[in-house]
Amino acid sequence: MRRLMMVLALAGLCAAAASARPKDQATVYKSAEAKHFSTAEGVELSPAFADYFYAELRNELTKSKLVSEVIGEGEAVDDSDAAKSLVISGTITEYKKGSVVKSALIGFGAGFKSLKMDADVIRRSDKQNLCTIQVHVKVDPRWNEKVMAKGAAHEMVKEMKKALSEGEKSAAPTAAKPS
């Protein structure tokens, strides 16, 4: 019985270590460049929104520790670091202003402001698309649009982290195979 308990404890420890590994893992990418997102036709957002979203995205990327350094738009990167450098660009595809009346009368998310955006994460050296992310954020219509930008940036970095770690996992066995 005691032996079984010890084996179980060891297995638990191993599982915990395995789950903790990705968090403690050193950042794979050296730098990431976030670009200002473009807006699709018909999207009526203030020009300040793009600037604020750009700043929030950079802020979230720094916080996430996905990359060692977050560089500004249009900054030069050494050729030696280009393979470990990401470029994030995207488009705001849809924005709905929402309705305060609908939100107040119906509730349950009706009349909420809605924002949809697509982003591409590209490796700088070979321009390979590492992942495509689609984010849909809904917020109360009484809230400032900048709050929506904050939520969208947070969601985008979360999705990006997930997609890149999944991509690494799937790429790891193929990379380990001898050619």
Partner 1 sequence: MAPPSLLNRSLRFAAAASLIFPLSSTATDEPKPKPENTITLELGEPVPVQKFEHPPKFWISDVTDRSGNPQPLLVLKERGGIFLDRQPAAIVKDSLESSLKAANLLAPDLASADLVIRLYVFHFGLASGSALDFFGKVEFSGMVKNPKTGESLEVKAIGTSIANGAVRKKNIQKNVQENIEAALRDATRNFVRGTQLKDAVAQLHGADLPATTAAPAAAPN
Task: Enumerate binding residues for partner 1 (CB under 8 A).
Answer: 48, 51-52, 54-56, 58-59, 71-76, 144, 146-147, 149-150
Q: Which is nearer to partner 1, 52 or 99 (CB)?
A: 52
Nearest approach in angstroms of CB 56 to partner 1 is 6
| CA–centroid distance for 172 within its chain | 21
Q: Which is nearer to partner 1, 78 or 126 (CB)?
A: 78
Q: Which is nearer to partner 1, 49 or 164 (CB)?
A: 49
Q: Which is nearer to partner 1, 149 or 164 (CB)?
A: 149
Between CA 103 and CA 47 the distance in angstroms is 26
Nearest approach in angstroms of CB 164 to partner 1 is 23
Phi, psi of 80 (to 5 degrees): -70, -25
Q: Which is nearer to partner 1, 55 or 163 (CB)?
A: 55
Record the tokens describing residue 127, joined without a space.
Answer: 């321009």
Query: Cβ(86)–Cβ(31) under 8 Å?
Result: yes
| CA–centroid distance for 146 within its chain | 17
Between CA 127 and CA 170 the distance in angstroms is 19
Element (H, E) at 49: helix 47-64
Nearest approach in angstroms of CB 12 to partner 1 is 38
Nearest approach in angstroms of CB 28 to partner 1 is 23
Strand-pair partners of 129:
122
Nearest approach in angstroms of CB 113 to partner 1 is 13
